[in-house]
Amino acid sequence: MNTATMDVNNDSCQIDLGIGGMTCASCVSRVEKVLRKQPGVSAATVNLATESARITLSGPQDAAALAVLRRAVRDAGYEPRAADAMDQEVTERWLGVPVDALPVVFGALLSAPLALPMIGDLLGKHWMLPAWAQFLLATPVQFWLGARFYKAGWHALKALTGNMELLVAIGTTAGWALSTWLWLRAEPGEMVHLYYEGSAVVITLVLLGKWLEARAKRQTTAAIRALHALRPERAHLVPDGVKRTEMSDVPVDELLAGDIVRVLPGERFPADGEMLLGETQADESMLTGEAMPVPKQPGDRVTGGSLNGEGSVEIRVKAVGAQSVLAHIIALVQDAQAGKAPVQRMVDQVAAVFVPVVLVIALITLLGWLWKGVPMEVALLHAVAVLVIACPCALGLATPAAIMAGTGVAARHGILIKDAEALEIAHKVDTVAFDKTGTLTVGRPTLRLVEALPGADETAVLGAAAALQAQSAHPLAHAVTEAARSRGIAVLPDAAQEVQAVTGKGTRGTVQGAQLALGSLRWMEELGLPLAALGPLAATVRRQQAEGATVSLLASRAGEGQAWSPLALFAFGDEAKPGAREALARLKQRGLRLFMVSGDNKGAAEAMARQLGMDVDGGAVIAEVLPGDKAAVVQRLREGGREFSAGPPQAEFAPPGGAATRAAAERGGHTVAMVGDGVNDAPALAAADVGVAMGGRDGGSDVAMHAAGITLMRGDPVLVEAALDISRRTVSKIRQNLFWAFAYNAAGIPLAALGYLSPVLAGAAMAMSSVSVMSNALLLKRWKPGR
């Protein structure tokens, strides 16, 4: 099993290292400091909930660098291990009891007789074991089961820091030592009240709390385990007639791009690929959250990990290993869960001084009670109660537990959150800007109308336009070539020469000796063809725009330096996505500002916006925006701007995130989410406070997904509201957890210092603080996106 996973980028790399033995926020702070001091380490982030560290090295990773890091962790008193060790379920049992629960069981068996007198007092009975029996029962609990506290506490002392184990070790040792001293100094036959039960029960309760906490942690990583389980172990490799003459089963790790694999009914697709033979339906619910099976036929893409339906099919492998969609999903979820939310910085600062402050409070408690005149044993018990109840472990778990649960449940419903910062910012979003084509619309426009100028042959014009667009992947180009083929016109990729795509405007090239340009009306104006110069086509242009069509013109010229002349008009139509109107209505109900940002002409964009129920008259449509200008639009929206000219916005673009985002918040700006699906949306997604990349059945654009903080694995606009909702709920859980973590200590420490809590009750409260924080975070697992 790998101890580290690397993400190499240029001259740096990232290592994920598992760390055993951490119990509280103080441990997290200490391990981070140790790792950051190591040579070559540029950054280190430790996550208590995953019990792992993400370490960034300034140079390439090698065995020596990993060995140095492991040694540093071990010298600090913790156990380096595999990064995913915490994800493994505990299956080994002894007499039916999970091995990790055995310390709790032994502690309960040894502590129960010591606690009997407490129960007897409630029943009016006076049960008391002899002092020697109490000593024999309590000592193994103190020094055998409690050895972990002494070991970790000693390492903390050597580093001049503190942690939970140090508090427990000092407190319980004081109780055990006091009882032993009272027993040894007593006269023969004298009945003395001993406090062995306090120390033994406290240790047992702490062990129980840590065991329950570990179980809860494993539940928060259930999403990762479920994703790993999607990939089958073996694949049926189809014979190729040369190297393989018959079908053979091979490990999935040995598949190569280009291999042909047979997938039987009910099996999972072993890799990303393209359907070659057969028809079926694929259940992609674990990847995209889409409950309905997706029909698949030859030519369609399939995603590794999705479940094959009733058909026996063959696919050609396109992507394996780290390049697959499933691996990308797992990496995004792991990155989000390994990250640290900005609010955690405050918790880390508190944890750094927490234990020393508690030790001072315990000392003041001891001296205060002695000054009041109470016996030494009573004053010591109150000080022990302070030490025991003051546990910083709940503080360390409050934020990462909620983030893990929130990102995990979001991933199960097709919402991938890139990092903790995107999750925390998303709940503040008050403005959402949508790209139109492919985001709010289906993104598969069709050619509604071809109208040539009098004297031009419509079929010839369509054939020339199709030749010009044959090599383009743009949706409008695809609509032109499909329309040509449907009319029996051959579309030859090499029929056009010197083809040049002009970003956001159109395409130009040479077809049969004539220079042609097919593109937007705005580009035609730049070429010297304003609407007034189109003659009889002008009226058709206005009519088609009023009906919501996207209009392009085909123009020609004889040669360089000659004037362009119009040839034909092309009108394209697209449909709104099912559920898009409902999704926008839900966002409106949240009080969000909604905008449509489109490169389409104003008439088509406004017609679609009206169909979707957007506030067109209120300036919700920002049309005729070039791809490179969308980032500037986002910046204007952040600053509160709403009015835009027909030309490119003139806003000065500031890079997003970090200081820019905080500066916008300080000056009262808006928090903007940009939703897009294509490569040309990537700059705007990066410019927004939160970029939301909307995928389709093929998983969306890789460029857009890398630029965005949130990726929606299916093209359902309703998921935009769902992503903001899970962000809001997760941040709410973080706040609740931090409140309770602080509340336990804020209420418990004074009560213990004033003598209202015994060490046993303090131990129970301390153990339950971590369990309650984890349990509260796990409530997020019940979340489902609204429909």
Q: At what angle do helices 196-220 and 102-122 cross, to 10 degrees?
A: 130
Q: Where are the beta strands (DSSP E) in 328-477?
A: 415-417, 431-435, 446-452
Question: What b/e string do you get for 552-574 counting C-beta neighbours within 10 Å, with b at 16 or more?
Answer: bbbbbbeeeeeebebbbbbbbbb
Q: In angstroms, rounded to a whole number, what is the distance separating the alpha carbons of residues 720 and 415?
A: 9
Q: How many CB atoms lie within 10 A of CB 772?
A: 17
Q: In angstroms, rounded to a whole number, what is the distance separating the alpha carbons of residues 482 and 730?
A: 46
Q: In angstroms, rounded to a whole number, what is the distance separating the alpha carbons of residues 536 and 547?
A: 18
- Local structure of residue 38 (DSSP, 8 states): S
- Residue positions counted in the chain: 787
Q: In angstroms, rounded to a whole number, what is the distance separating the alpha carbons of residues 757 and 766?
A: 12
Please name which of 276, 23, 291, 317 lies closest in space to residue 149, comparing C-alpha atoms.
Answer: 23
Please name which of 688, 594, 630, 685 lies closest in space to residue 504, comparing C-alpha atoms.
Answer: 630
Q: In angstroms, rounded to a whole number, what is the distance separating the alpha carbons of residues 771 and 764?
A: 11
Task: For 475-544, give the DSSP string.
Answer: HHHHHHHHHHHHTT----TTSEEEEEEETTTEEEEEETTEEEEEEEHHHHHHTT--GGGGTTHHHHHHHH
Q: How far apart are the first and last CA of the chain?
A: 42
Please name which of 312, 316, 386, 307 lies closest in space to residue 354, comparing C-alpha atoms.
Answer: 386
CA neighbours closer than 13 Å in the CB half-sphere of residue 574: 26
Spatial neighbors of 506 by CB under 8 A, at least 6 apart, are 517, 518, 519, 520, 523, 552
- In angstroms, the Cα distances linking 536 to 225, 464, 540, 755, 787 are 64, 21, 8, 94, 47
Q: In angstroms, rounded to a whole number, what is the distance separating the alpha carbons of residues 673 and 634?
A: 8
Please name which of 234, 246, 261 lies closest in space to residue 318, comparing C-alpha atoms.
Answer: 261
Q: In angstroms, rounded to a whole number, what is the distance separating the alpha carbons of residues 511 and 492?
A: 11
Q: In angstroms, rounded to a whole number, what is the distance separating the alpha carbons of residues 293 and 283?
A: 5
Q: In angstroms, rounded to a whole number, what is the distance separating the alpha carbons of residues 296 and 302?
A: 8
The dihedral region occupied by 188, where left means phi > 0, alpha psi between -120 and 50, and beta the remainder, is beta
Q: In angstroms, rounded to a whole number, what is the distance separating the alpha carbons of residues 151 and 277?
A: 62
Instruction: Look up residue 777 and give its amino acid.
Output: A
Q: In angstroms, rounded to a whole number, what is the distance separating the alpha carbons of residues 709 and 693?
A: 8
The dihedral region occupied by 289, where left means phi > 0, alpha psi between -120 and 50, and beta the remainder, is left
Q: Is 84 assigned a catalytic role?
A: no
Catalytic residue among 272, 435, 574, 725: 435
Burial label, 95 (beta-carbon count in 10 A; 0-12, 13-18, 19+): exposed
Torsion angle defined by CA atoms of residues 478, 483, 485 and 487, in that order, rounded to the nearest 10 degrees: -170
Please name which of 344, 437, 434 lies closest in space to residue 735, comparing C-alpha atoms.
Answer: 344
The first and second tokens of residue 669, run together, are: 């700006």
- In angstroms, the Cα distances linking 769 to 152, 213, 520, 775 are 21, 10, 63, 10
Catalytic residues: 435
